Amino acid sequence: MSSKSRFVRSDRAGFTLVELLVVIGIIALLVSMLLPALQAARRQANTVKCLAQMRNFGQAFQIYAVDNNGYWPMAFQNYPETTAPVARTKRWHDFIGKYLNNGRQVNFDGTGVANANQDVVDTLKTQRSSIFWGCPSWQDNQTSYIVTNYPTFTRNTTISSVHMGYSMSPYTFSPLSTAAVVNGYKAWARRDTSSYKPSDGGWFWKASQWMKQSERGLIADNTHRDMAVTPLNFPWWSNLTSGGTTWAGKEMPPVPDIFTFTLDFNRHGKKYFGNKYTEPSLNVLFCDGHAATLSCKQAHYAFIKSPKLND
């Protein structure tokens, strides 16, 4: 075999630069076609994991009720130290922590680790390795927002860095529960005063007292450790005032506001920002124990108004 024939065969076995570019272009095209499908699959998987997490919360609430004469924990409780003037703070996850944390108590006395003012930080640092940090979508993007001048917003990492991404609703058996007073207590599961029985404070309520349990929201994807769902009328942003600007009559904000409407309606939506209020985009645990992915509009009704989830 001559050297010339060997050279020819070697040349035919390789690829030209044009051929390589064509192959790379085809691969890039295939990736661009498959990437949205992969992202959608990942988003759906995260949504399912989050729903499973919420059902675990629901089971813990039921166990807590069995151990506490039918009562459920409060969303937020601030109360005084009995032997010293030190404020104590507990949230719903502190009450049910032992049922989901292998029997270990987490901030069970409301004092935190060292500083009572830092109890939330200390508690959630402890819980980062527990089931409470179970929403993968929140773990990927721990961000809270402050709505500023329309249509802009700013990010807030101070709250989100110590927030598990879920919040409990304080609204029990009254549409908003800000005016109703029952036996000296407001009809909501929240108490942020150091007095024991004021007319402006809520208290513990039995699970059976939560209205329309199959339609009443209990836990939701949230951008703040405390839930805020105002105003009463829908759409909720119709009289939102933030950053000195009133949004009345304008388009829906692209993100939730940590002071006015904290439900994280972008968590499981198709987009990172600006999901429509009719698109299924956030997960909610209901008082009867079932969990579902709701739109912003449905979630608004589930927590603040007489339930109209099919509206």
Structure confidence at residue 13 (pLDDT): 60
Structure confidence at residue 287 (pLDDT): 95
Residues 259 and 179 sit within 8 Å (Cβ to Cβ): no
More confident residue, 128 or 26: 26
* Domain presence at residue 117: yes
Count Cβ atoms within 10 A of the Cβ of residue 43 and give its class: 0-12 exposed, 13-18 middle, 19 or more buried. Answer: middle
**Dist. CA 309–CA 187, nearest whole Å:** 22
- The number of distinct structural domains making up the chain is 1
Alpha helices in the chain (DSSP H): 3-13, 17-67, 92-100, 119-127, 136-140, 157-160, 296-304
Q: Is 46 helix (H, G, I), strand (E, B) or coil?
A: helix
Buried residues in 220-244 as b, exposed as e (16+ CB within 10 A): bbbbbbbbbbbeeebbbbeebebee
Structure confidence at residue 128 (pLDDT): 54
Domain range spanning residue 262?
46-304
pLDDT band at 248 (very low <50, low <70, confident <90, very high): low
> How large is the average pLDDT for residues 197-212?
80
The yes-or-no verdict on residue 288 having pLDDT over 90 is: yes
* Domain presence at residue 39: no
* Domain presence at residue 1: no
* Domain presence at residue 24: no
Give the mean pLDDT of the chain: 77
Query: Ranked by mean pLDDT, which of 27-41, 92-106, 147-161, 167-181 comes out on top?
Result: 92-106
Structure confidence at residue 154 (pLDDT): 87
Residues 221 and 267 sit within 8 Å (Cβ to Cβ): yes
More confident residue, 267 or 86: 267
* Domain presence at residue 50: yes
The yes-or-no verdict on residue 168 having pLDDT over 50 is: yes
Structure confidence at residue 164 (pLDDT): 83
Structure confidence at residue 286 (pLDDT): 96
Q: Residue 66: name the closest of 186, 171, 208, 187 by CA.
A: 208
* Domain presence at residue 286: yes
How many other C-beta atoms lie within 10 A of the C-beta of residue 171? 27
Q: Residue 258: name the closest of 191, 167, 141 by CA.
A: 167
* Domain presence at residue 279: yes
* Domain presence at residue 27: no
pLDDT band at 51 (very low <50, low <70, confident <90, very high): very high
